[in-house]
Amino acid sequence: MSLRTTTRKGDKLTTAKPYDIAIIGGGILGIATAMQTAAKHPRLRIAVFEKEPRIAAHQTGHNSGVIHSGIYYAPGSLKAKNCVGGAEALKRFADENGIKYELCGKVIIATTEEELPRLQELHRRGVANGVQGLEVIDRSRINEIEPNAAGIRGLYSPNTGIIDFTEVTRAYAAKFEQTGGEIKLDTRVEDIIERAGGVILQTSQGEIQASHLINCAGLYADVIAKMMGAAEDLRIVPFRGEYYELRPEAHSLIRGLIYPVPNPEFPFLGVHFTKRVNGTMEAGPNAVLAFAREGYTKTTFDPRESFDALGYGGFWTMARKYWKTGLHEIYRSFSKQAFTKALQRLVPSIREEDLIGGGSGVRAQAVASDGKLLDDFRIVESANAIHVLNAPSPGATASLAISAGILTMAETAFSLNQ
């Protein structure tokens, strides 16, 4: 699938006519929002501005590719409201556009008696959220589904699936461009000037005028929001998740997705086994503080961004609460043996030699000024703008549902129907 773009590296933008809507961020949410807005309002002049030379370059292109079913989320939360319907919409879109996906199913495994109440709570949440086909299973049923897994009880979700979210984003982009939308690559927003009736974006490619702005900047969403005086009550703190790949000869150990029962106080799901739609198998991720917002390796260090995080009072409040968990995650990051041991709780026969170094991703985790890790989506308005400030997993799964909600907000806030 070819992707037409208006701006190439080194070109300078000129906008004699202001855009009706400027969308900052070429990840899956920014592109989905652009696609849906352009489809419903084809007369609007809409552009997406992405600082990288390609779309889906960061969180979208580095996630595990899971189509979540909606088990984990508190009933009534934005995650719960958007995940189930969003997953169905995603699968319909994939069917209509020839995008490969597989409903391989997922088993969440309790390995101790202490985890059983939490497993039951996940079942309760899933049922309340409308997740279809959930089944609490015993040891023998676990081994029917995943013969090499170990656990005393499990929760089986047959409708959890896998997909390539970069491919999905490219398909969204193609549809957006077919309706006349523009995607400007290599265009970093450096400042925003608010003026009567709109905004002026100061970018690496020149000055852009727009009547309205939608901020889907992911790891830099709070930075963009602060340019407009929004998001003063939170800061995005980057957490790196590191993966191992399973050697091909170890693929037979896993059939689908195998997850632990998560720690309810920590908004990460724990290291797990993931089948990829391209046939590879992954184990991970952990969750360690990154010293750059795009810190994909242990050695990546950005002094300004590190000091920005470490100078935030909410970070230290969070650190005091989670320091033991944080130290354990750091140890597991540097110790393949410790990483393997965590995986052996789920699949005892996995060995260190079955694992080879894989990729990594960075999660944009919003931290409130009181140190709380924001667990739900956070989307707010400011003058002439909408800001997506926290959209972690299941953000990609729910991209069509979330972007439809953003469009509804925009229609009211920007008076699009007038």
pLDDT in tens, 149-178: 999 999 999 999 999 999 999 999 999 999
Look at residue 264 in the predicted model and tell me its pLDDT: 73
| Residue 394 pLDDT greater than 60, yes or no | yes
- Of 6-15, 114-123, 153-162, 232-241, where does mean pLDDT reach its minimum? 6-15
CA atoms within 13 A on the CB side of 55: 33
To the question of pTM greater than 0.85 for the whole model, the response is yes
Instruction: Please provide the average confidence, as pLDDT, over all residues in the chain.
Output: 94
Give alpha helix (H) positions in 245-312. Answer: 303-310
Q: Are 401 and 89 in contact (CB under 8 A)?
A: yes
Numbered ranges of CATH 3.30.9 in the chain: 235-368
What are the pLDDT digits (tens) for 199-209? Answer: 999 999 999 99
Architecture in CATH of 19-59+166-233+377-413: 3-Layer(bba) Sandwich (3.50)
In whole angstroms, give the CA distance from residue 21 to residue 56. Answer: 20
Query: Could you tell me the two tokens for 32?
Result: 């989905």
What are the pLDDT digits (tens) for 361-380? Answer: 999 999 999 999 999 999 99
| Residue 13 pLDDT greater than 50, yes or no | no
Q: Strands, E, within 98-188: which ranges? A: 101-102, 106-110, 135-138, 153-157, 161-163, 182-184
Look at residue 197 in the predicted model and tell me its pLDDT: 85
Look at residue 11 in the predicted model and tell me its pLDDT: 44
What are the pLDDT digits (tens) for 281-325? Answer: 999 999 999 999 999 999 999 999 999 999 999 999 999 999 888
Look at residue 263 in the predicted model and tell me its pLDDT: 82
Numbered ranges of CATH 3.50.50.60 in the chain: 19-59+166-233+377-413
The percentage of the chain sitting over the pLDDT mark of 90, rounded to a whole number, equals 91
Look at residue 7 in the predicted model and tell me its pLDDT: 40
| Residue 9 pLDDT greater than 80, yes or no | no
Q: Are 247 and 355 in contact (CB under 8 A)?
A: yes
In whole angstroms, give the CA distance from residue 280 to residue 295. Answer: 24
Yes or no: domain 235-368 corresponds to CATH 3.30.9: yes
In whole angstroms, give the CA distance from residue 411 to residue 181. Answer: 18
Q: Across the chain, which distance is largest between two alpha carbons, in Å?
A: 68
List, in order, residues 6 or more apart from 412 with CB less than 8 Å away. Answer: none
What are the pLDDT digits (tens) for 29-41? Answer: 999 999 999 999 9
Q: Strands, E, within 40-125: which ranges? A: 46-49, 66-67, 101-102, 106-110
| Residue 276 pLDDT greater than 60, yes or no | yes
